[in-house]
Amino acid sequence: MRVKKYLDLVAYIGPSKGIGDDVPDSYYSKFDGSYITFVGLEKNVKFLADREITEQLTHGVGFSPKDNMWYGWSHRVIYGFTIGSTCKKGDCHYKASNIEEEIEAAKNFWEDDCHEYTKANVKEEGVIEVTWKYNNKTPNKSIRGSEMSTEWLYNPKKFGKGEWVAETMEDAKQMAIDFNEGVS
């Protein structure tokens, strides 16, 4: 679908909100009023027009009747989900289902060939402390052998489903939402 036709179908133009006076107007979703793109940057949504994501279009999630898929996206990537789509550890749309999985995800985020070890533990409700030590494979020689730590924030009320399979289109929609949150 041509981008102009697509935007006429799914969006309206309005003043940009909360950015300043010298910015162009924006396209907003007719579904929920969420931001889509600036006027003048229409080519940035060609990937949505190509997939004909025309239903329940929000900022980062929408449905394509053409593909019968729910899509999640950011400015970097887009991915579609339907019945039978899977979610595994390491996927962008994976959300831990409990504190043990969240600790593992925090630890795994920092593990790679440049670390001698990586540890993670709950520091307090909503905070996991991750500690690692750089090894001799670290390209930045000045930090080799040093230990560092960071805090990994999580919301204990917002655990996901862990690994799972979409059995309904509502499940596929949830995967698209989780994907958008994971890549944004």
pLDDT digits 0-9 by tens, 164-179: 999 999 999 999 999 9
Q: What pLDDT score does 153 carry?
A: 92
Check pLDDT > 90 for residue 163. Answer: yes
Q: What pLDDT score does 17 carry?
A: 84
- For the chain, percent of residues with pLDDT exceeding 70: 100
The Cβ of residue 100 has, within 10 Å, a number of other Cβ atoms equal to: 9
Give the confidence band of 142 by pLDDT, cuts at 50, 70, 90.
very high
Give the confidence band of 39 by pLDDT, cuts at 50, 70, 90.
very high
Give the confidence band of 76 by pLDDT, cuts at 50, 70, 90.
confident
Q: What pLDDT score does 109 carry?
A: 86
Check pLDDT > 90 for residue 59. Answer: yes
Give the confidence band of 23 by pLDDT, cuts at 50, 70, 90.
confident
Give the confidence band of 18 by pLDDT, cuts at 50, 70, 90.
confident
Average predicted confidence (pLDDT) for the chain: 94
**Cα→Cα distances 133→109, 111, 112, 139, Å:** 14, 10, 11, 14
Residue 158 sits at φ, ψ, to 5 deg, of -125, 40
Burial of 128: CB neighbours in 10 Å, binned 0-12, 13-18, 19+: buried
pTM reported for the whole predicted model: 0.85
- For the chain, percent of residues with pLDDT exceeding 90: 89
